[in-house]
Amino acid sequence: MKSKLNYLIGISLKRKIKSKWFVIVNIILAIAIVGIINIDSIINFFGGDFSQKQSIYVIDNTNEAYDILNTQLGSIDTLLESDESSFELKKYDSSEEDAKKLIEENKKNIVVVLYSDEENIMSAKIISQNTMDMINYQTLVTAINNTKISLAIQKSNIPLEEINKIYSNTDIKREILNEDASSDDENMQMIMTTVFPIIILPFFMLSIFLVQMIGAEVNDEKTTRGMEIIISNVSPKTHFFAKVFAGNFFVLIQGLLLILFAALGFFIRYITGGNSIVNGLGAEVGNIVNSILSSGIGDKLIYIIPLTLLLMIMTFVGYSLLAGVLASMTTNTEDFQHVQTPIMIISLVGYYLATMSGVFKGAIFIKILSYVPFISAILSPSLLVLGEIGIVDIIISLVIMFITNVLFVKYGLKIYKAGILNYSSKGLWKKMLKAMKSK
Amino acid sequence: MLKVEHVTKYYDDFLAVDDLSFEVKPGEIFGLLGVNGAGKTTTFRMIMGLIDANSGSITLDGKKIGYDVTDKIGFLTEERSLLTKMTVKEQCLFYGNLKGMDNETILARLDELLKRFEITEYKDKKIKELSKGNQQKIQFITAILNNPKLLILDEPFSGLDPFNVELFKKIIIEMSEKGSMIIFSSHRMEHVELFCKKLVILVKGKTVISGYLSDIKEKYRKKNILIKGDVDIDKIKQIDGVISIEKRATELEVKIKDMSVADDVFKVVSKGKNISKFEIVEPSLNEIFISKVGETYEK
């Protein structure tokens, strides 16, 4: 049995890896991943400039607000922990009409006109060719408002000492009554919302590849009736496990290829823009790692990483077992697409729940959902990093997933044996139940 | 020896095969006949161990057929059981390996068979690119790749031209002469008649005829008389026991209910002119099949 099992695994993998679609999909993935990692270089190559600052021409009719506005924009950048300001402020001593010509010359230019206003101290006008980026607009509006406050303070004859006190940052002490939580969790939530979807996307993608691969292969063998010859030479059990192993090896190879494409992307980035990888992305990664470590989870990573990986592997095994069972009962790829849709929807729900995991803070239902097979592999790690669940919960998810897989093997094999030579889609669920009840 | 003993198979409440028994000895070609839905494919699947019988037993050389003996069996299914995206070589390597053969032996045997079937140029072609007839040849090659001890052929001549039918027949007979047991199913009775010494005719899962072909024909009481010459057809029609008279290009075929009627027919024919032929012949298997199947359906 062992040698025929190995042979079937090998032939299954070979058929998949040698197929045109595998090559095409991986070429597209490689281009996409390398491209995304080097998107700034690509834009620069085609004439764009990521590092180009937005020029803001300021017509200061108050004769005192320009310097304050410049300082305020700098303060906002400091507050946002931004290494470089995205604006370049230029004082413009000419008319508003002339300034509009600057916009005609470069459509990205922005003109800010500051007016003295006896009633409201200061008013302003922002002129641009098109609508502005929301964050840039809000930053500029905040800086103008702060400039107005500064002017008001200056005009109120408040002593310098008091002015410094007003401008100094408020001393905010943070106290969280939940001993398990820390203030760093608040930063983590933001990071998880933005970074985690990117990390779990490959898992989600690979699970779809896995289900599709097994379904397509079993159905190909069934529709061509090659299954009759295969099953007359190897037992359905051997055939079933061959598909499961081949599917998981395929996922492993595809996963390694994704890592390889990402490494290639970073290597190209290193060659074409070594500095920006250190200052830009390196700093971002550093921030995330620091946030994770400062949340106190660092000590537990030695348990979390293997447990999460184990949960993911067991979920892949679960997907492959289920895909094999469902494929055995269907007679063509179209039927298989129908029966596997609910599983894909459950997985998709898990993906969205994981991306929004920070929103459901403390909700019991999200904790319960993190135990649900297929959802658990995506949802549990995000909740664990956010401190919503503990290692015990991951172990519970693992146990539930293990039991699910055992049940899939026990009852799934019976269904597989009955279904693999079934060529009728009539009474599908009835046949499944009957097979499960058989000895 | 393949022994099928009192095998019965139900699909839920539907009786697919009812108390079927037969034996196939080494070197024998056995015919399993029946119209669509008679239970032939179910019987083949039970022999191959793909499905279990509800009762009865199937043994090969005294042992139950399991995955330990399937390497000695060749199976050609009624429908094409080829993975059409594979090339001929890949397909044969795949099925050959499943039979426990090594790649070197498979490729040597494949070259030999491709040459025999005069299709060596298709070795690296994808199966889906081949014609229906050539696909059937490849399917046949995959079934006999391992020189099986037991060869099951479900409608092997499907999609073949007369030239290739002859080629298949030749190879099947050669294999039988080398000692292979061959079970054969076909809708074409003339093919079965040429090959099979023994046969079973199934109707709705039930055995309506079973045994050696010669015995079956012997037991079948109705005979045919072939007559060439000018005879009084009306007088022959009036003879008690004459079932029908059919005019052929140069002769008459008179069907009689049994041998006792032949004397009365001869008396009338002897009074005719230019008589050059009076021959009593056994009915064809096709005639027996239609007669028996018709009788069973009427019941």
- Which residue type does A244 have? V
Is A313 inside any structural domain?
yes
Global pTM reads 0.77
B1-35 pLDDT, tens per residue? Answer: 899 999 999 988 889 999 999 999 999 999 998 88
> Alpha-carbon distance A74 to B3, whole Å?
94
Which of A5, A11, A228 should one mutate to test binding to chain B, selecting the residue with the greatest count of B CBs within 10 A?
Answer: A228
**Single residue among A167, A192, A216 that ends a domain in this structure:** A167
DSSP string over A326-351: HHHH-SSHHHHHHHHHHHHHHHHHHH
Beta-bridge mates of residue B24: B2
Q: Is ipTM over 0.85?
A: no
Task: Say if residue A84 is in the same domain as residue A28.
Answer: no
Look up the CATH superfamily of B2-216: P-loop containing nucleotide triphosphate hydrolases (3.40.50.300)
Is A406 inside any structural domain?
yes
Is A32 inside any structural domain?
yes
Cα A247 to Cα A98, A313, A323, B260: the distances in Å are 67, 12, 10, 72
Task: Say if residue A319 is in the same domain as residue A413.
Answer: yes
For residue B114, give how far its alpha carbon lies from the nearest alpha carbon of chain A (Å).
Answer: 20
Q: Which residues of B touch A11 (CB under 8 A)?
A: 94, 97
Q: What is the pLDDT at residue A281?
A: 53
Residue A144 has pLDDT above 80, yes or no: yes
- Asked if B2-216 and B223-282 have one fold, the answer is no
Task: Say if residue A120 is in the same domain as residue A258.
Answer: no
Task: Say if residue A390 is in the same domain as residue A411.
Answer: yes
Residue range of the domain that includes A272: 2-41+184-437
Number of structural domains found in chain A: 2
Q: Does A235 touch chain B (CB under 8 A)?
A: yes
Angle between helices A134-155 and A160-167 (to 10 degrees): 160
Is A264 inside any structural domain?
yes
Q: Does B98 touch chain A (CB under 8 A)?
A: yes
Measured on CA atoms in the order A371, A375, A381, A386, is the torsion positive or negative? negative
Minimal Cα distance from A1: which residue of B? B67
**Single residue among A167, A195, A230 that ends a domain in this structure:** A167
Q: Exposed e or buried b for every residue in B190-227, given b needs 16+ CB within 10 A?
A: ebbbebbebbbbbbbbbbbbeeebeebbeebebbbbeb
Q: Which CATH fold topology does B223-282 show?
A: Alpha-Beta Plaits (3.30.70)
Residue A192 has pLDDT above 80, yes or no: no
Range of lowest pLDDT (A131-145, A230-244, B93-107, B162-176): A131-145
Reported as a pLDDT band with limits 50, 70 and 90, residue A170 is: confident
> Is residue A387 within 8 Å of residue A185, measured between CB atoms?
yes
Measured on CA atoms in the order A386, A392, A397, A401, is the torsion positive or negative? positive
Q: Which residues of B touch A228 (CB under 8 A)?
A: 45, 48, 50, 75, 77, 81
For residue B81, give how far its alpha carbon lies from the nearest alpha carbon of chain A (Å).
Answer: 4
Phi, psi of A425 (to 5 degrees): -90, 5
Is A179 inside any structural domain?
no
Is A172 inside any structural domain?
no
Is A48 inside any structural domain?
no
Which of A16, A22, A232, A421 should one mutate to test binding to chain B, selecting the residue with the greatest count of B CBs within 10 A?
Answer: A232
**pLDDT > 90: what percent of chain A?**
23
Task: Say if residue A76 is in the same domain as residue A188.
Answer: no
Higher pLDDT, A65 or A398: A398
Task: Say if residue A311 is in the same domain as residue A416.
Answer: yes
Task: Say if residue A162 is in the same domain as residue A272.
Answer: no
**Single residue among A114, A140, A167 that ends a domain in this structure:** A167
Is A177 inside any structural domain?
no
Q: What is the mean pLDDT of residues A3-10?
A: 92
> Is residue B99 within 8 Å of residue B147, measured between CB atoms?
no
Closest residue to B94, CB basis, from A11, A220, A227: A11
Q: Which residues of B touch A225 (CB under 8 A)?
A: 77, 79-81
Range of lowest pLDDT (A142-146, A244-248, A430-434, B14-18): A430-434
A361-378 pLDDT, tens per residue? Answer: 667 888 888 899 988 888
Task: Say if residue A151 is in the same domain as residue A32.
Answer: no
Looking at residue A157, which CATH number applies to its domain?
3.40.190.10
Q: What is the pLDDT at residue A282?
A: 52
Q: Which two tokens stand for residue A262?
A: 């990402």
Q: What is the pLDDT at residue A317?
A: 94
**Average pLDDT of every residue of chain A:** 81
Task: Say if residue A225 is in the same domain as residue A124.
Answer: no
Residue B267's H or E segment, with its range, is helix B260-270
Task: Say if residue A355 is in the same domain as residue A377.
Answer: yes
Residue B298 has pLDDT above 50, yes or no: no
- What does the domain layout of chain B look like in residue ranges? 2-216, 223-282
Is A233 close to B70, i.e. CB distance below 8 A? yes
